Amino acid sequence: MRFDTKALLKLMKQSWRGGGVKIQRTEHRGLWDSFFITGAGWALLIPKENCPGEIAGQIVTWLADMPKIGESKWVVKGCDPQDIPEDDRTIDISRYTTGNYETGMACLPLCTATDALIQYGADDRAAAFPLDAFAVVQAGANLGFLDTEAGIACWKDEDAHGLFWLCDNAGNVPQDVLDAVKHFTPQKH
Protein backbone atom coordinates (compact mmCIF):
# COMPACT_ATOMS: atom_id res chain seq x y z
CA MET A 1 0.00 0.00 0.00
CA ARG A 2 1.08 3.60 -0.55
CA PHE A 3 0.06 6.60 1.50
CA ASP A 4 -1.83 9.34 -0.33
CA THR A 5 0.71 12.18 -0.40
CA LYS A 6 -1.86 14.86 -1.30
CA ALA A 7 -4.09 13.82 1.62
CA LEU A 8 -1.07 13.75 3.95
CA LEU A 9 0.02 17.24 2.90
CA LYS A 10 -3.56 18.50 3.39
CA LEU A 11 -3.66 16.90 6.86
CA MET A 12 -0.32 18.47 7.82
CA LYS A 13 -1.51 21.95 6.72
CA GLN A 14 -4.81 21.51 8.56
CA SER A 15 -2.92 20.62 11.76
CA TRP A 16 -0.51 23.54 11.24
CA ARG A 17 -3.48 25.94 11.05
CA GLY A 18 -4.98 24.37 14.20
CA GLY A 19 -2.98 23.07 17.15
CA GLY A 20 0.30 22.74 15.28
CA VAL A 21 2.60 20.07 13.90
CA LYS A 22 5.60 18.53 15.65
CA ILE A 23 8.52 17.69 13.38
CA GLN A 24 11.39 15.56 14.62
CA ARG A 25 14.36 14.34 12.65
CA THR A 26 15.75 11.26 14.26
CA GLU A 27 17.73 8.12 13.62
CA HIS A 28 14.92 5.62 14.04
CA ARG A 29 16.30 2.60 15.88
CA GLY A 30 19.76 3.73 14.82
CA LEU A 31 19.10 2.58 11.26
CA TRP A 32 17.32 5.28 9.29
CA ASP A 33 17.57 9.02 9.14
CA SER A 34 13.83 9.65 9.56
CA PHE A 35 11.17 12.27 10.02
CA PHE A 36 8.67 11.75 12.82
CA ILE A 37 5.76 14.14 12.25
CA THR A 38 2.71 14.42 14.51
CA GLY A 39 -0.52 16.37 14.61
CA ALA A 40 -3.70 16.02 16.66
CA GLY A 41 -4.57 12.30 16.59
CA TRP A 42 -2.08 11.21 13.92
CA ALA A 43 1.62 10.53 13.39
CA LEU A 44 3.97 9.67 10.52
CA LEU A 45 7.40 8.05 10.67
CA ILE A 46 9.20 7.94 7.34
CA PRO A 47 12.83 7.58 6.28
CA LYS A 48 14.16 10.90 4.98
CA GLU A 49 15.38 9.31 1.76
CA ASN A 50 11.86 8.02 0.99
CA CYS A 51 9.94 11.11 2.11
CA PRO A 52 7.85 12.54 -0.77
CA GLY A 53 9.23 15.82 -2.07
CA GLU A 54 6.00 17.69 -1.24
CA ILE A 55 6.26 16.66 2.42
CA ALA A 56 9.99 17.47 2.70
CA GLY A 57 9.36 20.78 0.94
CA GLN A 58 6.63 21.71 3.43
CA ILE A 59 8.96 20.89 6.33
CA VAL A 60 11.65 23.15 4.87
CA THR A 61 9.08 25.91 4.28
CA TRP A 62 7.87 25.82 7.87
CA LEU A 63 11.34 25.57 9.42
CA ALA A 64 13.18 27.75 6.85
CA ASP A 65 15.75 24.92 6.53
CA MET A 66 16.08 21.15 6.65
CA PRO A 67 16.24 20.09 10.33
CA LYS A 68 19.39 18.35 11.52
CA ILE A 69 19.30 14.86 13.06
CA GLY A 70 18.21 15.27 16.68
CA GLU A 71 16.27 18.50 16.10
CA SER A 72 12.63 18.71 17.10
CA LYS A 73 10.36 21.65 16.37
CA TRP A 74 6.73 22.55 16.89
CA VAL A 75 5.23 24.70 14.13
CA VAL A 76 1.88 26.47 14.12
CA LYS A 77 0.49 29.16 11.84
CA GLY A 78 1.40 32.66 12.97
CA CYS A 79 4.24 31.59 15.29
CA ASP A 80 7.96 30.99 14.91
CA PRO A 81 9.08 27.34 15.19
CA GLN A 82 9.59 26.32 18.82
CA ASP A 83 11.97 23.69 20.24
CA ILE A 84 10.31 20.59 21.71
CA PRO A 85 11.70 19.58 25.13
CA GLU A 86 13.55 16.24 25.19
CA ASP A 87 10.99 14.57 27.49
CA ASP A 88 8.13 15.46 25.12
CA ARG A 89 10.04 14.07 22.13
CA THR A 90 10.44 10.69 23.82
CA ILE A 91 6.79 10.58 24.90
CA ASP A 92 5.55 11.39 21.39
CA ILE A 93 7.60 8.68 19.72
CA SER A 94 6.97 5.97 22.32
CA ARG A 95 3.20 6.66 22.33
CA TYR A 96 2.99 5.37 18.77
CA THR A 97 5.92 3.00 18.29
CA THR A 98 5.55 0.81 21.38
CA GLY A 99 2.01 -0.40 20.69
CA ASN A 100 0.81 -3.95 20.21
CA TYR A 101 -0.69 -3.66 16.72
CA GLU A 102 -2.25 -7.04 16.07
CA THR A 103 -6.01 -6.68 15.58
CA GLY A 104 -6.99 -6.53 11.90
CA MET A 105 -9.57 -4.06 10.66
CA ALA A 106 -12.15 -4.02 7.88
CA CYS A 107 -13.48 -0.94 6.12
CA LEU A 108 -17.24 -0.43 6.41
CA PRO A 109 -19.59 0.96 3.75
CA LEU A 110 -20.77 3.73 6.06
CA CYS A 111 -19.37 6.78 7.79
CA THR A 112 -20.52 9.82 9.71
CA ALA A 113 -20.19 13.37 8.41
CA THR A 114 -16.75 13.57 10.03
CA ASP A 115 -15.49 10.01 10.60
CA ALA A 116 -14.79 6.80 8.68
CA LEU A 117 -15.97 3.71 10.55
CA ILE A 118 -13.81 0.59 10.71
CA GLN A 119 -14.89 -2.78 12.06
CA TYR A 120 -12.58 -4.89 14.20
CA GLY A 121 -12.69 -7.78 16.64
CA ALA A 122 -14.83 -10.88 16.86
CA ASP A 123 -17.74 -8.96 18.37
CA ASP A 124 -17.87 -6.41 15.53
CA ARG A 125 -16.65 -3.40 17.44
CA ALA A 126 -16.02 -0.15 15.58
CA ALA A 127 -13.22 2.36 15.47
CA ALA A 128 -13.70 5.81 13.97
CA PHE A 129 -11.07 7.92 12.27
CA PRO A 130 -11.46 11.55 11.10
CA LEU A 131 -12.12 11.54 7.34
CA ASP A 132 -9.30 13.99 6.51
CA ALA A 133 -6.74 11.84 8.33
CA PHE A 134 -8.22 8.56 7.09
CA ALA A 135 -7.82 9.76 3.49
CA VAL A 136 -4.06 9.16 3.85
CA VAL A 137 -4.61 5.38 4.13
CA GLN A 138 -8.08 4.88 2.68
CA ALA A 139 -6.79 2.96 -0.36
CA GLY A 140 -5.32 0.33 1.99
CA ALA A 141 -7.69 0.69 4.93
CA ASN A 142 -8.02 -3.07 5.41
CA LEU A 143 -4.23 -3.42 5.66
CA GLY A 144 -3.99 -1.62 8.99
CA PHE A 145 -3.80 -3.04 12.49
CA LEU A 146 -5.22 -1.70 15.74
CA ASP A 147 -3.78 -1.67 19.23
CA THR A 148 -7.12 -2.08 21.00
CA GLU A 149 -5.71 -1.16 24.41
CA ALA A 150 -4.18 2.14 23.26
CA GLY A 151 -6.87 2.87 20.66
CA ILE A 152 -4.31 3.59 17.93
CA ALA A 153 -4.22 2.07 14.44
CA CYS A 154 -1.12 1.66 12.29
CA TRP A 155 -0.56 1.31 8.54
CA LYS A 156 2.68 0.72 6.63
CA ASP A 157 3.69 2.16 3.27
CA GLU A 158 5.60 -0.79 1.84
CA ASP A 159 7.42 1.27 -0.80
CA ALA A 160 8.53 4.15 1.41
CA HIS A 161 8.96 2.06 4.60
CA GLY A 162 6.83 4.65 6.38
CA LEU A 163 4.39 4.11 9.24
CA PHE A 164 1.20 6.13 9.74
CA TRP A 165 -0.86 6.08 12.93
CA LEU A 166 -4.37 7.30 13.70
CA CYS A 167 -6.03 7.56 17.10
CA ASP A 168 -9.48 5.98 17.45
CA ASN A 169 -12.16 8.66 17.64
CA ALA A 170 -15.07 6.29 18.44
CA GLY A 171 -15.69 8.07 21.75
CA ASN A 172 -17.00 11.02 19.73
CA VAL A 173 -19.40 8.95 17.60
CA PRO A 174 -23.00 8.38 18.81
CA GLN A 175 -23.57 4.91 20.27
CA ASP A 176 -26.44 4.12 17.89
CA VAL A 177 -24.06 4.60 14.96
CA LEU A 178 -21.49 2.29 16.56
CA ASP A 179 -24.24 -0.27 17.24
CA ALA A 180 -25.21 -0.17 13.53
CA VAL A 181 -21.76 -1.58 12.70
CA LYS A 182 -22.94 -5.02 13.76
CA HIS A 183 -25.38 -5.07 10.82
CA PHE A 184 -22.80 -4.54 8.10
CA THR A 185 -20.44 -6.87 6.30
CA PRO A 186 -17.00 -5.34 5.72
CA GLN A 187 -15.98 -4.31 2.21
CA LYS A 188 -13.57 -6.63 0.44
CA HIS A 189 -10.60 -5.02 -1.32
Rounded Cα distance, 7 and 120, in Å = 24
User: What residues have CB less than 8 Å from 66, skipping those under 6 apart?
Assistant: 56, 59, 60
Q: Which residue has the higher pLDDT, 164 or 187?
A: 164
How are strands ordered across the β-sheet holding 42-47? Answer: 82-83, 72-75, 21-28, 32-39, 42-47, 162-167, 152-157, 145-147, 103-111, 115-120, 125-130
pLDDT digits (tens, 9 = 90+) for 178-189: 666 666 655 444
Rounded Cα distance, 57 and 65, in Å = 9
Rounded Cα distance, 27 and 40, in Å = 23
Type of residue at 34? S
pLDDT digits (tens, 9 = 90+) for 78-109: 999 999 988 887 787 888 888 888 888 887 77
Domain spans in the chain, listed from the N-terminal domain onward: 5-97, 104-151+167-183
* pLDDT greater than 70 at residue 40: yes
Rounded Cα distance, 134 and 41, in Å = 11
